[in-house]
Structure 1
């Protein structure tokens, strides 16, 4: 009986130890940077302003240098998700000498994807105009996202019209880091409806096929599109495998500088969990990409 009790306690003790180590790691990361929470990125007097969805958090290294900026967009099938889940991304960026900007944006069914893209573009514009006050370089802004957020990040990097409409002469995005991105070619995806429950995506994307094409980054790629890092899980959804492969081939055809990496054995959720670990391949590549590593 004593042996059985001891064996039962081993996994419990291991769980406690792992939890303690993770907590220590998080505390160390938190000390490495400073978090400024819930900053509105549009005028709070606008009639559609949402105090929850139109805010962002800034994670800054604790020094007086000017740092590159990575704006991270969360996923969640365009109908869920929050910046508050991804504090670890901001902390790890700040701990490695990068300003992390983690944003919220409006979600379906309240709005459709074009409005989400507009929100994300507004967040980038706010960042360009204000990030110097947090130690960031407004001329080195990169976008990053997972899943639906990866698709939105790709759209910001490829669709200059999102910024021309905001009064900017050029697109301020210098590059994109896409982690198992969804929505790269919704024009093709929603025409085919190959998978169970695909009708659910007609809520965030609507039923107008011209809109599907407009919000699909694949159709905005041009020779002068900024460079990209693209990461895909070997065991992610078939739709993401297919669309990222088309995206990769188009990047190659247009001569756009990029790095495409498949992570063996990783599922869709596993791909975002990679960002919890400071020394994983995505962060290593990212640091070189933005000029830190």
Structure 2
């Protein structure tokens, strides 16, 4: 049996996308962890359960578990004392049918309210309207794959729902990470899929704070679920890549005494993987505007023009005043498709080069002709060999000969969507 991914959320967390902006809607932030304990099979979703604070670390840890998108972590946390509604529901994968109905109703209300709020921001504009219609066509064409992944998400015995962090309701769309998480679980890797408040429910500082809380939860609790806290990796896709990078840098600055107390350490993160992300907002604001994420909305998400520097990791790492914080960053590997129109591939190339100049171990890996969603959705749904996935797993298993040997003989992934539907989806994709 293989371990799966862990989408971690909070009470009233939503599993549906509210916004259709290229920055905040198409994103996933994950913690990846190599795993060898075949009894641990976790996929955590958002249900209202006990939200007790993290407990102190235990004095020692011994296990052969796996890391969760993070870094090298240190000691195991004591097992959390859970209420009957939390831990009991985790072992069965959820609560009663009536609880799920009530939860679905509250989520529907939340999404409807936020949807109307977002419309007030967007107004009437042909760019976002045409992209919204394209999104509908895109989703229909990929529906055969979404249904299969959704079935796994909701009905697999390896799914665990109810693990909570923070106290704010969220509306991000964890399903973006489901397919990659399922793939990684088949290679003995646990994945914790972290959600965060999306616009207009929250702005960039809320998103970064939510991501940091999620990383803290995994770092402090993963041993409880069969993972190895010394083998944690952090990964983000699209907006999730940007948010995760901001989270990592903000944490490094805090550790240097600039931002108060911390509940996890950058030293716990073994490496950071950024997929199709943007890291210099000054270079992207006009690009996003031309693609329907209007400047006024973008600046609202980013809390004004004065915050663009703070939330542009590529710019921030060049500040000589935080040189010590930058030196704490883990190795950074950036993946990008050369045909990405949502966020140009130069965004990853430039960030990697900047990191190298300031002394951070970094590299960018380009996939020729791949678009924004090819590397994350289309290629996995196509089945067979997936270059980005194989590169990612090879890096996680780099120092594990046994795992590499298993990877070498792993069967190819099955196709989820017919090729002609994938090609049509690619042609109408709004991303």
Whether these two folds match at TM > 0.5 is: yes
Q: Given the alignment of the two structures, is residue 87 of structure 1 paired with residue 178 of structure 2, yes or no?
A: yes
Check 1:39–1:134 CA distance in 2 against 1; reply closer, same or farther (3 A cut).
Answer: farther
Deviation at 1:53, TM superposition (A): 5.4
Please state how far the C-alpha of 1:249 moved relative to its aligned partner: 1.6
More strand by share: 1
**By how many angstroms is 1:99 displaced?**
1.4
- Per chain length, whose mean CA-contact separation is higher, i.e. which structure has more relative contact order (CA < 8 Å, sep 6+)? 2
Query: Which string of whole-angstrom CA distances, capped at 9 and with x for unpartnered residues, describes residues 39-76 of structure 1?
Result: 64xxxxxxxxx52059x9999766163112126xxxxx
Distance in 2 (alpha carbons) for counterparts of 1:112 and 1:188 = 20
Q: Is the 8 A contact 1:61 1:99 kept in 2?
A: no
Partner of 2:67: 68
1:278–1:122 CA distance, 2 compared to 1 (3 A): farther
- Per the alignment, residue 414 of structure 2 pairs with none
Residue 84 (structure 1) shift: 2.8
**Contact 1:34 1:62 (C-alpha < 8 Å) held by counterparts:** no
What is the Cα deviation at residue 33 of structure 1?
3.1
Alignment correspondent of 1:290: 396
Of the candidates 277, 280, 291, which is equivalent to residue 386 of structure 2? 280
Aligned residues: 244
Report what 2:204 is aligned to: 113
Root-mean-square deviation (CA, aligned residues, Å) is: 3.3
Question: Which consecutive residues of structure 2, in runs of 5 or more, have no partner in the other structure?
Answer: 16-29, 40-63, 71-169, 318-325, 405-431
Measure the CA separation in 2 of the matches of 1:206 and 1:99. Answer: 34
User: Which of the residues 317, 324, 333 maps onto 1:229?
Assistant: 333
* Alignment-derived partner of residue 177 in structure 1: 273
Q: Is the 8 A contact 2:219 2:264 kept in 1?
A: no
Q: Which residue of 2 aligns with 1:124?
A: 215
The 3 A distance-change label for structure 1 pair 51 and 58 is farther
2:9 touches 2:195 (CA, 8 Å); kept in 1?
Answer: no
Q: Please state how far the C-alpha of 1:188 moved relative to its aligned partner.
A: 4.3
Distance 2:223 2:288 in 1: 45
Compute the TM-score of the two structures, normalised by the length of structure 2: 0.50
Q: TM-score when scaled to structure 1?
A: 0.70
Does the 8 Å CA contact 1:232/1:263 hold for their aligned counterparts?
yes
Describe the SS at the equivalent of 1:67: coil
Contact 1:236 1:266 in 2 (8 A): yes
Q: Taking structure 1 as reference, are residues 278 and 67 closer, same or farther at Cα in structure 2, changes over 3 Å only?
A: farther
Residue in 2 that maps onto 1:167:
262
1:6 counterpart residue number: none
Which among 1, 7, 13 is matched to residue 52 of structure 1? 13
Answer whether contact 2:271 2:332 (CA < 8 A) is retained. yes
**Alignment check: 8 A CA contact 2:4 2:184 kept:** no
- Shift of the alpha carbon at 1:175? 1.4
Whether 2:299 is the aligned partner of 1:219: answer: no
Go from structure 1 to structure 2 and tell me whether the alpha carbon gap of 1:161 and 1:286 turns closer, same or farther (over 3 Å shift).
Answer: same
Return the match for 2:300 from 203, 216, 220: 203
